[in-house]
Amino acid sequence: MSLQAGIVGLPNVGKSTLFNAITKKHILAANYPFATIEPNVGVVTVPDTRLDYLVNLYHPKSIVPTTFEFIDIAGLVSGASEGEGLGNKFLSHIREVDAIVEVVRCFDDANITHVEGATDPIRDVEIINTELILADLEIATNRLGKIEKKAETTKEKEAIKEVNILKKIKESLEKSIPIRLLDFTEDDLLLIKNFNFITAKKIIYVANVDEIAASIGDNDYSLKLKEYAEKENAGVVVMCAKLESDLADYQDEERANFLKEVGITNSGLDKLIFATYDLLGLATFFTAGADECRAWTFKRGMKAPSCAGIIHSDFEKGFIKAEVMSFTDLENAGSELRVKECGRLRLEGKDYEVQDGDIVYFRFNV
């Protein structure tokens, strides 16, 4: 399934530098606003040692890891909701993503221009959040003006329900409360899905620190950002985008040794990838054999037929059963044969919720 996370932030906070690192591509990362004009899209591989284990066990002809897309979107400035900077062009790009990765400058550097004059992570976050709220408020207000008249005249239940939801959204946005912090049912969310409200999307903050702070784990700026994010139940990943970008071309062993030397235990990139993956409620199941070992992305809670449909629509239409073994059982047993002998290979039906790490063979008939 194709899922996207949009990298956003003020100009010159390190968005494009971060993008260079996570995709190992080298796009323009210039020291002036709007160095990125068109959104840059990169496919990110999700590191997974379980897939490595399966490859060593089955020695397949083909290996396909699970991936999702990161999109680097042009820097946002105060007044974007009214057309300042790249304005509506930026906002149209961000409406299409599944989640938001907001890069926040948490370092001082006199050689890198700050669009607001000085480092202040909370001010920067609030500038962006205000613009996104204003953009959503405009959409909610415009839609309310149209649907309210219809609801009053027709008394249609769906129209009345939409009016009530939009009023709730409008009132909250006017109080600077993003939509993601409101309580909605699945039906409610389905009703407003086509509006692509930006503040309804899940968000994670990246505290872009210098190398010293990255080795320690935090600085005063990142601690303030964490305190802010905690109030809206958002996560924060602390990393040095420049360091990660410099390491992007290193081999895995070289990268690990260098990080160890500078006192960083885990790559900031890996932390960001896992955090974003988790933010979207994603998990991984596997198909494995001599021809191919492949990791498949699915949303937690999906049942076996829907997961089969990720592979091919015919698998879902003609679903019969799923042969399932957990990765843990396979690893403990050492072979697929031993899993079967231990009675740990299961046949599951249509109501089975696929679990993270399941190794699945789908039986189907079309």
In this predicted model, what pLDDT tens digit does every residue of 131-165 receive, in sequence order? 889 889 999 999 998 888 888 878 888 888 999 99
**Does residue 252 surpass a pLDDT of 80?**
no
| CA-to-CA separations, 95 to 5, 139, 291, in angstroms, rounded | 11, 12, 39
Quote the CA–CA distance of 2 and 270 in Å, as a whole number: 19
Neighbours of 108 (CB within 10 A): 12
74 confidence band (pLDDT: 50, 70, 90): low
Cα→Cα distances 225→71, 161, 209, 237, Å:
23, 37, 11, 10
Q: What is the mean pLDDT of residues 343-363?
A: 97
pLDDT at res. 356: 97
Mean pLDDT (the chain, rounded): 86
Q: What is the pLDDT of residue 76?
A: 60
Q: Residue 294 above 90 pLDDT? A: yes
The answer to whether residue 297 scores a pLDDT higher than 50 is yes
| Continuous segment of H or E residues that includes residue 293 | strand 292-299
**pLDDT band, very low/low/confident/very high, at 79 (cuts 50, 70, 90):** low
Measure Cα distances from 307 to 301, 362, 364 in Å: 10, 9, 13
* pLDDT tens profile 203-236: 999 999 998 898 888 999 999 999 999 988 899 9
Q: Are 171 and 120 in contact (CB under 8 A)?
A: no
Write the single-letter amino acid at 79. G
CA-CA distance, 339 to 291, in Å (whole number)?
Answer: 20
Strand runs labelled E in 99-182: 99-105
- The pLDDT value recorded for residue 75 is 63
Judged against a pLDDT cut of 50, whether residue 28 lies above it is answered with: no
Interval 250-262 mean pLDDT: 76
Nearest to 80 by CA among 26, 145, 9, 21: 9
pTM of the model: 0.82
pLDDT for 36: 44
> How much is the average pLDDT of 242-263?
78
38 — pLDDT class (breaks 50, 70, 90): low
The single-letter DSSP state of residue 81 is G
Q: What is the largest CA-CA distance in the chain?
A: 70
Q: Per-residue pLDDT tens for 184-199?
A: 998 888 888 889 999 9
Bigger pLDDT: 54 vs 117: 54
- Higher-confidence residue of 350 and 216: namely 350
Find out whether 10 and 75 touch, Cβ atoms under 8 Å: yes
Who has greater pLDDT, 218 or 80? 218
- Please give the average per-residue pLDDT across 87-105, as a whole number: 79
